[in-house]
Structure 1
Amino acid sequence: MNEERGTTATLEPEPAAVPLRRNRRFQTLWAGSASAMLGTCLADTAYPLLLLAMTGSPTVAGAFGAVQFGASVLFGLHGGTVADRHDRRRILVLADTVRLLTALSVALALAADRLTVPHALLAAATIGATMAYGGPARMLALRAVVPPEQLRQALSQDELRVNGAALAGPPLAGFLLGLGTAVPFLATVLTSGLALGASVAVRFDSRPDERERAGGKEKGAAFAGLRYLFAHRMLRSTVLVVAALNLTGSAMLLAAMVLLRDHGTSEAGIGLALTGEAVGGLLGALLVTRLHRLLRPGALLLVVAWAAVLSFAAPAAAPGPLVVLAALALTGLGVPALRVMLDVLVFQRVPEAMRGRAMAGTMTLLMAGLPLGTMTAGLLLDRLPAPTVLLLLAAALAAALLPLTFGRALRGTSWAG
């Protein structure tokens, strides 16, 4: 009888995973991340507008984004190393606390009419640093509360957070500024508080084991994630193509703005056309699972990238706000599938001991393309008409894709870990 009981116990199926919508830890972390992202998008619009009103200088207004970006890149690789060596939950709580105190300091300074430009730029650097340290910790926290079979679904929901905040943040910041100078910054205090509350409330396995900590202390450990990414053929191709899309995409945005302005489109029309990227991203987040089911990683990478080539060229052939809106939406449609693909590949193929550094390295590479693309487009637009610049961007991206398209490197890739 004991043998029969043992056999029965062995044959009992494992309990099914809780559906993601009922996974309270994931949904709480997701809500906190959504709040933090919305607060960041609010700040990205509200701070430059405030600095422009304070100083009348577009250079000073633009310095906020430059300082924030610079801090994210400067601390990015170290943020991944810290995530691989220390308690990730503590890192997350600390990053959210610093962000909350920063937002509160700006709101109080505005209430007292004592906000200065150095104070605002210090806030930019602090926000950028918290993104560098909090970003890898958030991704590892998400992985810790979601079973492997639900990872793609969880990452797809996370794409809704990113694109939803990008779409809602700028108009919401403008609306709140209309209610009062300090109002959008009080909103960032609220969003930071919600993010901190979620980080405190959710407990998960957040301590790296001793092997992971030792790996983070080796010489050149901060670059170990990048070295691993570039040593792996599929990961290297994916990171480089997505980085190329970021670079040319940011250049395309500036060229599209100049194109629409030259054709007499109003500022409101230009702003509406530029929402196409976020709209495409929101729709694309809903298609991630289907696209991953239909296409293997290599094929998905090439399809999305070649669609971007067509999107860059279309406004040059038929300039107008509707064409720009559609082109940006088409480009944004495949980006969530690529980002989730990259995250899935990292979780499947990068050892646990260096995932934080691999994520941080990926984030740093992708972010580096944004200012470089904008600067390159600015230099080109000073010398060439906008349609020509758009065609050059499409040609450059196509030239980069041709070796991958006709080569064998991406053939036979699969989703298997």
Structure 2
Amino acid sequence: MNRLAPLLPDLAPWRSSRDFRLLWVQGLVTVFASFMALVALPLQIKELTGSPFAVGVMGAVELVPLVVFGLYGGALADAVDRRKVIVATEAGLGLLALVLLVNALLPSPLLWPLYGVAAGVSALAGLQRPALDSLLARIVPHEQQTAAAALNSLRWQLGSIAGPALAGLVVAYAGHAAAYGVTLGGYVLSVLLCRGLSPAPPAHDADKPSLRGIAEGARYAWSRPVLLGTYAVDLAAMFFAFPNTIFPFLADDLDAEWSLGLMYAAGSVGSLVLGLTSGWTSRVRRHGLLVVAGATGWGLAIAAAGWFTNVWAVLLCLAVAGAGDMLSGLGRSTIWNQTIPEELRGRLAGIEVLSYSVGPQLGQLRAGGVAGWTGTRAAIWSGGVACVASVGLLCLALPKLLAYDATTDADALRRKAQQDARREARPDAGPDGGRETRPEAGPDAGRETRPDAGPDAGQETGPDAGRETRHPSA
């Protein structure tokens, strides 16, 4: 057991921060609640229309609100109490779940409310996620950011594996209304948990949300090569090597139609394994290397998945890809939370929403287009190779990403000094002067998750539907 201890998840954030524990439990609740709607909603559209196109329109309906409100939500998170944003958006998501429930109980359910709710969920998720993501840097000590990211990701992986299976059973045996009822109940519980969070007011000189404020955040990101590198590497990895949309065709090519569900789940399984053995990542200081190594591993594994003809080898490659994606995500999340100033954290989280959501969407478009031209397997392996090549070029163009060291980077040291100063000013307070965060009585061996999140959740925060390790928006 002692030999395994260095590999087990680092529970330091769970023990040191009451707010982190609340957010972790809240996130777990919303992951399961969200998956109920995430599974039931497209199935209900399918039953009402019988049209694959009508189901596919959901993606277009969700993308624009997520991008627009994600950017605005970033500016909002820097201007108002982040706890209030989280509580208000969770309540809004609960009201949308109530709309779905009422519509499902009608003798003849209507189609247009389903699209309206999908757009509304995406908008609220865009508003919420920057507040959730930026809150992590405030409630968790500087040196525990990687551990917190690993625990949040672990939460998401547990939910993404068990959530769809449970949701499928509820929809199949109890119907859409029951699934929406569970979603509603989950958000009611989530609101109660979020109300227990410490206040998270903005800086005293915070400006009101504005385009100028959003532009200021974008200029800051552009001026920091390390941050720019994290965004660029993730976008490149997802654009070139996100083949989920053509998995049905890959299953056909391999003469293994039965494997389609396993293909979608394999990445989450790989991420879960890495999460359960993530203790070593808390001792890493070169987080840029994690970003690059994870993205490179993702690309190589996707290339191998397109090359192999044995279905079990393909599934193994997809699991390895999921582990690589999570490793890169841990590095990105840690760099963001260790270096971005508190007064800009929300706006930069809004930019993260943009990079986080657009990459997989464009990647699915690329994969489908190339598959129609070259064939399914060629589209997959060529995308993996292009991913590795693009990550290499980005390392040459942005060498500071590889050189990043949390113990020497000027931005990281400045952010740590800010946290330490606030802690010294209020020795009984949490990492950034919030509510006291001494460990409470009870077992310490909880499980934690990554912010990234999701919507997640939200989900991780989720909200971020997308690949996952990406969080659901519902």
Whether the TM-score (by the shorter chain) exceeds 0.5 is yes
Return the letter of the residue paired with 2:386: A
What residue number does 1:110 align with? Answer: 104
Q: Note if contact 2:144-2:282 (Cα within 8 Å) is conserved in structure 1.
A: no
Q: Quick one: which of 233, 236, 243 aligns to 1:244?
A: 236
User: What stretches of structure 1 of length at least 5 have no aligned partner?
Assistant: 1-16
Instruction: Name the counterpart of 1:120.
Output: 114
Structure 2 residue 223 is matched with structure 1 residue 231 = yes
Structure 1 partner of 2:255: 264
Change in CA separation of 1:64 and 1:141 when aligned onto 2, cut-off 3 Å: same
CA contact under 8 A between 2:101 and 2:181: conserved in structure 1?
Answer: yes
Q: Secondary structure in 2 aligned to 1:220?
A: helix
2:71 paired residue number: 77
Task: Quote the Cα distance in structure 2 between the aligned partners of 1:415 and 1:363.
Answer: 24
Paired residue secondary structure (1:210): coil
- Give the aligned partner of residue 42 of structure 1: 36
Whole-Å Cα distance in 2 between the matches of residues 88 and 405 of structure 1?
35
Equivalent position SS for 1:264: coil
Residue aligning to 1:284:
274
The answer to which of 375-384 and 143-152 deviates more is 143-152
Higher mean Cα deviation, 297-306 or 217-226? Answer: 217-226
Corresponding position of 2:138: 144
Amino acid in structure 1 at the alignment position of 2:240: T
Structure 1 Cα separation of the partners of residues 263 and 91 of structure 2: 36
Match of 2:194 in 1: 199
Report deviation, 1:394.
2.0
Alignment of 1:184 onto 2:179: yes
Amino acid of the structure 2 residue aligned with 1:236: L
Deviation of residue 114 (structure 1)?
A: 4.4
**Cα deviation 1:241-282 (Å, max 9, x = unaligned):** 1122222342x223443122122212x421113211111111
Is the alpha carbon distance of 1:71 and 1:405 closer, same or farther for their aligned partners in structure 2, counting shifts above 3 Å? closer
Are the equivalent residues in 2 in contact too, given 1:32–1:197 (CA < 8 A)? no
What is the root-mean-square deviation of aligned Cα atoms in Å? 2.2
Q: Which one has a larger percent helix, Structure 1 or Structure 2?
A: 1
Q: Which amino acid aligns with 1:413?
A: Y
- Of structures 1 and 2, the larger Rg is shown by 1
| Residue 307 of structure 2 corresponds to residue 317 of structure 1 | yes
Match of 1:383, SS?
A: helix
What is the CA-CA distance between 1:22 and the residue it aligns to? Answer: 6.7
The 3 A distance-change label for structure 1 pair 255 and 102 is closer
Partner residue, 1:350 = 340
Letter in 1 for 2:147: Q
CA contact (8 A) 2:233 2:394 kept: no
1:304 maps onto 2:298 in alignment: no
Instruction: Give the Å deviation of 1:86.
Output: 1.0
Shift of 1:153: 2.0
Alignment-mate amino acid for residue 348 of structure 1: Q
Deviation at 1:286, TM superposition (A): 3.0
Asked whether the equivalents of residues 38 and 169 of structure 1 are also in contact (C-alpha less than 8 Å), the reply is: yes
Alignment of 1:201-220 (within 5 A): 201-202=196-197, 204-211=198-205, 213-214=206-207, 216-217=208-209, 220=212
| Alignment check: 8 A CA contact 1:152 1:289 kept | no
Instruction: State the alpha-carbon separation in 1 of the partners of residues 12 and 292 from structure 2.
Output: 35
| Counterpart-to-counterpart distance in 2, 1:56 and 1:257 | 19
Deviations 1:288-343 (A, max 9, x none): 44135357223222221221222122123222331222111111113233223222
- Aligned counterpart, 2:4: none
Which of 381, 402, 407 matches 2:392? 402
Task: Give SS of 1:201's match.
Answer: coil
Corresponding residue for 2:350? 360
- Partner residue in 1 for 2:86: 92
Three-state SS of the structure 2 residue aligned to 1:382 is helix
Report the identity percentage.
Answer: 25
Cα distance in 2, alignment partners of residues 400 and 338 from structure 1: 15
Comparing 68-77 and 335-344, the one that deviates more: 335-344
1:4 aligned partner: none
